[in-house]
Amino acid sequence: MSIEELKIEIAKKVFETDDENLLSELDMLLSHSEPVVMEELPKHVQEGIKRGLQQAKEGKLIPHDEVMKRLSESLP
């Protein structure tokens, strides 16, 4: 699963939950993490992120369920 697909899956779960404690803890976790500075990442990682973001803008995403289905069919 790409980082963009993971973000989408997490966002879906956040919108679906009404668990106030979970949302509060998630907010605290996200508020205390150190930001990633794009320029400090290796060049190949930056390029991969940019390519993934462009693909997402173009709608070139595969839903998580479809990825899991494909994986289960290809693995013994």
pLDDT exceeds cutoff 90 at 29: no
pTM: 0.44
pLDDT for position 47? 92
* Domain that includes residue 26, residue range: 3-74
Across the range 47-64, mean pLDDT stands at 90
Residue owning tokens 């150190």 = 34
CB neighbours of 39 closer than 8 A, spacing ≥ 6? 46
pLDDT for position 36? 73
Nearest to 8 by CA among 74, 70, 72, 52: 52
Yes or no: say if 8 and 59 are a contact pair by the CB < 8 Å rule: no
pLDDT for position 50? 92
The domain total for the chain is: 1
pLDDT for position 33? 66
